Amino acid sequence: MRDTHDIEPEQLGRWLYYAAQGDAAAFRALYDATSPKLLGYVLRILGKRELAEEALQEGFVAIWHGAATYQAHLAAPMTWMTTIVRNKALDLLRRGTHDAALDGPVFSPEIMLALQDPGATPIDALLISRDAKALAYCMSMLEGTHRQVIGLAFFHDLSHGEVARHLAMPIGTVKTWIRRSLERLKTCLVKDQQA
Amino acid sequence: MSIRNDPVLRDKLAAEYVLGTLKGGARRRFEDLMRDDMALRRVAAAWQERLMPLAEFSGQQQARPHVWGAIERRLDLRRPHAAWQFWRGGSLAFWRTLGMASLASALLLAGVLYSTLVNVPRVDYVATLVDERAKAALLLTADRNGRELTVRLVDPAPVASDKSLQLWAVPRQGAPRSLAVLAGGGVTTLRLPDSVVGTDVAMLAVSLEPRGGSPSAGGPTGPILYKGSWAPMM
């Protein structure tokens, strides 16, 4: 069974390819398929719907113009698009006053529950892509505080020092946690691919 | 400090670059290094594949309709296009990217061709039709004196039994002209129609159609799988 949360990367790649040639209908299909995820994401970064929609708009304009330079061998379509929209959101974040957004949760409540206790909220039942499920499984193996540090850094574009200040922890501890968490995620994702 | 020979450090920096914790001067230096280091770009790309799915942990939000409206206006997407018109539409950048790759494969194939066709010196035009990754799928040769068009399927993707591949000449003005519905494989030789090699032909393309060919008189109805343009043989 295929649902809209796991559109095949091949399909996204085809739409992107046709969009690169000026096919507006393919571009619209790409937008419909991916914009809910991308908006959900940048809304967590920016905290305000107006700003998040502005980032989404800037992102899709850049995707249209950049579609011809997309390199399928370097990135999956969703990865490439997410990176573009992320950068637009971070540009907006740097331009504004962004301290307020730091207090909100970066993960949706269901994801939070699943990461804390995959037994009670199965990761497989989440409405996310296969890749995101694999990552969620590996994130659930990290300690809660380590997950929080990774989430803070990624969603709010924080430095080690900023994460440390926000959590009132020594910077050395934050650095170690991040390094170890990234190593563990890498090892865990390799295992998952082989399984 | 050289990180070229330190795979552990390279991996750690790439991971923190993607996560975002690599900041300031260190981030700029890492970006400079990536510019000349394909292997390092790949390490970073692998970390992007690993970490970008974090974005999905946010849950989904439906954008309000005016967002698409604004995108459409900024990119002028509402101009009416026939389905096939985008082939020659504005995306020059796409052709620039593809240009070098298809030129390389055309030269390669032209070399192969020359060695096999050395006794048939009347080929005066050759076209390599490539897929979206610039991989050659069809090779076309035209002999204007003998009025023959030869189509070789080099490495096309398999076609379902209820579909056919159809070859088109796309002129600079007006609708594409069908040249042939291609048979299963190998080599097809056709009579070379008038004005297929003329300067008014902007492009050759192969579309995927219902078995037997496009049901529309106006041009292709299915997606364009391969395309390319003529290059004159010396």
User: Average pLDDT, stretch B178-186?
Assistant: 79
Average pLDDT for A164-186:
96
One domain, residues A8 and A97 = yes
- Counting one residue from chain A and one from chain B, the pairs whose CB atoms sit within 8 A come to 165
Q: What digits encode the pLDDT tens for the residues A144-166?
A: 999 999 999 999 999 999 999 99
DSSP state string for A85-125: HHHHHHHHHHHS--GGGGGS-SS-HHHHHHHH-TTTS-GGG
**Same structural domain for residues A12 and A97?**
yes
CB atoms inside a 10 Å sphere around CB B36: 8
In chain B, CATH 2.60.40 sits at 85-232
Q: Which residues of B2-16 are buried (b: 16+ CB within 10 A; e: fewer)?
A: ebeeeeeebbbbbbb
pLDDT of amino acid B119: 44
Residues A118 and A58 reside in one and the same domain = no
Q: Which of A21, A110, A160 sits opposite B94 (nearest CB)?
A: A21
| Per-residue pLDDT tens digits for A47-69 | 999 999 999 999 999 999 999 88
CA of A106: which chain B residue's CA is closest?
Answer: B58
- Indicate the pTM of the whole model: 0.65
Query: A174 and A160 in contact (C-beta within 8 Å)?
Result: yes
More confidently predicted of B191 and B45: B45
Closest CA to B223 of B159, B151, B135: B159
List chain B residues with CB under 8 Å of A134.
53
Rg of chain B, C-alpha, whole Å: 24
The pLDDT of A13-33, averaged and rounded, is: 90
**Residue A59 CB-half CA count within 13 A:** 30
| pLDDT for residue B210 | 85
Average pLDDT over residues A89-97: 86
- What was the pLDDT predicted at B93? 44
Q: In B, which residues are within 8 Å of A53 by CB distance?
A: 63-64, 67
Which tokens go with A154? Answer: 């990624």
**Beta-bridge partner residues of B120:** none
Q: In chain A, how many domains are there?
A: 2
pLDDT at position A115 over 80: yes
Half-sphere exposure (Cβ direction) of B152: Cα atoms closer than 13 Å: 15
* Closest by Cα among A58, A59, A70 to A17: A70
Coil/strand/helix, residue A24:
helix
State the residue range of the domain holding A153.
Answer: 105-194
**Residue B55 to residues A14, A39, A173, Cα–Cα distance (Å):** 22, 10, 25
Q: Does A111 lie in the same domain as A77?
A: no
Closest-CA distance of chain A to residue B61, Å: 5
Q: Per-residue pLDDT averaged across B202-210, rounded? A: 86
Average pLDDT of the residues of chain B: 79
Contact by Cβ (8 Å): A91, A62: no
Residue B201 backbone dihedrals phi, psi, to 5 degrees: -85, 115
Q: Are residues A97 and A8 in the same domain?
A: yes
Contacts of B21 in chain A (CB under 8 A): 153, 158-160, 163, 178
In this predicted model, which residue has the larger pLDDT, B182 or A142? Answer: A142
Domain covering B85-232 in this structure, CATH number: 2.60.40
- Tell me the three state secondary structure of residue B88: coil
Interface confidence, given as ipTM, is 0.92
Name the least confident of A24-33, A113-122, B73-82, B83-92.
Answer: B83-92
What average pLDDT score do residues B208-233 get? 82
Instruction: Sort out which chain B residues have CB atoms less than 8 A from A106's CB and list them.
Output: 57-58
- According to DSSP, the residues that pair with B189 across neighbouring strands are B150
Residue that finishes a domain, picked among A44, A75, A101: A101
- Whether residues B67 and A78 touch (CB distance < 8 A) is answered with no
To the nearest whole angstrom, how far is the Cα of A144 from the nearest Cα of chain B?
15
Say yes or no: A96 and A109 in one domain: no
Q: pLDDT confidence of B105, banded at 50, 70, 90?
A: low
